[in-house]
Structure 1
Amino acid sequence: MNSSDSPSRVLKAFGVNGLKNTVPVDSSSSTDNNGIATFDKGFPPITMQPKSAGGIPPSGQDMNGVLYAVTLQQQWQNAGMTYAFNQDFANQISGYPKGSMLPNSTSSGVWMSLSDNNLTSPEPVASASWVPFNSYGYTNLSGITSSTITLTAMQASKDRITLSGALTSNINLVLPSWLKSWTIVNNCTGIFGVICKTQSGTGVTIANGSTAKVYGDGTNILTEFGSAAYRDVGNGSGQVPDMSFFESGPGWQKLPSGRIFQWGAFPVSGNSVQTFSFPITFPNVALSITASFKIPASGTANADVISRSQFSLQNTYSTLQNCSFFAIGE
């Protein structure tokens, strides 16, 4: 069969504007004797006997009613629709089979059955026998303060959960024991955090003002990535600097904190003090500077900061020496 072999859709249920009977579900002695068709037995035996033997012809209205009921459902399915969970129907068929797909109560997603003979409703309480196959939208929970929050099945079915409120204590956000991942956006304020866990398993704490990717392994809640994955790029507290914060050039290196190191060497005449410029001007202050001879000599090499842009080197040895310096500033 090819995809191009798709049959025509049912545009109208059979007999929608014709004469038809509403076909009963179950039969009784009266329906059997009167030749009435039912879904339980179909057309009764009396409609299959010759008139000469007391038979009754099948009713055309019954036939229209049967075909109408069947094609009306076919039309519904052609429109891409299925049926939501129904407890009476579940009891009638001894439970939904494993793998069955049912729309959720808001028609924004689909539940999938994980077990045969499934009599449990997927909503409102999250069930281990139903899991979200897909679910459109976000879950937003506001006004959170100090109480444990157990998500409903519909709330937990969303991939992204946003929290807000002024926490007065650590709170538990109880997720179902599903094999599923969530993005938790913790927009709460205060010094406390949100602990994402299952009812009986362990969990992870998400600090206020942060976003984390978590997942359930069927028992516990774990983090998808380490904490560094959720930090912003920058050089502030709790941020992760990228290489743009490690500036450098000939004779200098700047760290993300703003601390600057500078180094180099200059020839200094014997028994003299000379002034030189730093490779770059310190933006705020030159904190310290040290000096030494590149080649050991019996004299000493001294250095002093003159300004953010200049320093002096002293050579106490009798002949010209290359004096190295190392400076720290901001």
Structure 2
Amino acid sequence: MPRRGRMCIFLKVGLGRFDQDSYETRIWSPDKKSYIFIQNGIWGAYSINSPAGTIALQLASGGTGAKDAFGARTNLGLGNSATRDIGTTANTVAAGNDSRIVNAVQHSEFTSGPGWVRFPEGTIIQTGTIVVGPLSSPTAISFPIPFTQMGYKVTTSFDQASGSANDCPSFAVSPQAVNWAYFMSSRTNGVNAGCNWIAVGK
């Protein structure tokens, strides 16, 4: 009976790229200038080129492209706030109710006084109650503070509209400057009229 032959298959493996000693296993690059290392609980990449040292995993490969926290923050586009804790003292990130924010908004951006308020973007609202003359006798009224430009708007109402009032005059306003305007009522009997007014502008 003929003896059967045994078929053997040999696989060529590039074992020359593998090194191992008592503390580390290395897989070398084709040019033998860098390698991946695995130690007990630690792994990474290393270059023997000058300057020699560990290699950071690139951003495109899912790393940070850096070997320290500062470099990682820089590559990821993170600012200084990434290193600050939330708190109420200097060099901390302010929370929404932090006095540094609350006081800045209340004291620096919003300003106000008797009969006026100025919003952070520059809009001014002014109010008042005045007595103005009848037709043909306008009264010059000064605003609590001047606007910064012409184009402000004024709305008015009669301040004595009640069950005992025998008329309900309307009012006309003619702005003259950033700090004053003419007010006049629709009364024709020579009697002045009380007027509530609101002026809005910048």
- Cα distance in 2 for residues equivalent to 1:122 and 1:226: 39
Aligned counterpart, 2:129: 265
Aligned counterpart, 2:159: 294
Given residue 300 of structure 1, which amino acid in structure 2 is its aligned partner?
A: S
Aligned counterpart, 2:110: 246
SS in structure 2 opposite 1:161?
helix
Q: Which has the higher contact order (CA 8 A, sep 6+)?
A: 2
Pairwise CA distance, 1:154: 2.8
- Cα distance in 2 for residues equivalent to 1:265 and 1:293: 9
Aligned counterpart, 2:67: 154
Deviations 1:167-210 (A, max 9, x none): xxxxxx5xxxxxxxxx922xxxxxxxxxxxxxxxxxxxxxxxx9
Aligned counterpart, 2:53: none
Aligned counterpart, 1:66: none
SS in structure 1 opposite 2:122?
coil
89 and 149 in structure 1: CA distance in 2 versus 1, 3 angstrom threshold: closer
- Cα distance in 1 for residues equivalent to 2:109 and 2:66: 45
151 and 160 in structure 1: CA distance in 2 versus 1, 3 angstrom threshold: closer
Aligned counterpart, 1:275: 140
Contact 1:286 1:307 in 2 (8 A): no
- Cα distance in 2 for residues equivalent to 1:250 and 1:211: 40
Pairwise CA distance, 1:248: 0.5
Pairwise CA distance, 1:286: 4.0
Give the structure-2-normalised TM-score.
0.52
Aligned: 1:327 with 2:199? yes
Pairwise CA distance, 1:283: 1.7
Deviations 1:228-274 (A, max 9, x none): 89xxx8xxxxxxx7221111111111011111111101112344311
Alignment of 1:1-330 (within 5 A): 88-89=22-23, 119-121=40-42, 123-124=44-45, 150-151=63-64, 154-156=67-69, 158=70, 161-163=73-75, 173=76, 184-185=78-79, 212=82, 242-243=105-106, 244-271=108-135, 272-296=137-161, 297-317=167-187, 318=189, 319-330=191-202
Question: Which sections of structure 1, spanning at least 5 residues, go unmatched?
Answer: 1-86, 92-117, 126-145, 164-172, 174-182, 186-209, 215-224, 234-240
Contact 2:66 2:72 in 1 (8 A): no
Q: CA RMSD in A?
A: 4.2
315 and 245 in structure 1: CA distance in 2 versus 1, 3 angstrom threshold: same
- Cα distance in 2 for residues equivalent to 1:152 and 1:283: 53
SS in structure 2 opposite 1:285?
coil
- Cα distance in 1 for residues equivalent to 2:95 and 2:128: 39
Pairwise CA distance, 1:155: 2.8
- Cα distance in 1 for residues equivalent to 2:125 and 2:186: 25
Q: Percent identity?
A: 22
152 and 88 in structure 1: CA distance in 2 versus 1, 3 angstrom threshold: farther
- Cα distance in 1 for residues equivalent to 2:175 and 2:65: 67
> How many residues of Structure 1 are paired with residues of Structure 2 in the alignment?
137
Give the structure-1-normalised TM-score.
0.34
Deviations 1:74-131 (A, max 9, x none): xxxxxxxxxxxxx73479xxxxxxxxxxxxxxxxxxxxxxxxxx81325459xxxxxx
310 and 228 in structure 1: CA distance in 2 versus 1, 3 angstrom threshold: same
Contact 1:286 1:327 in 2 (8 A): no
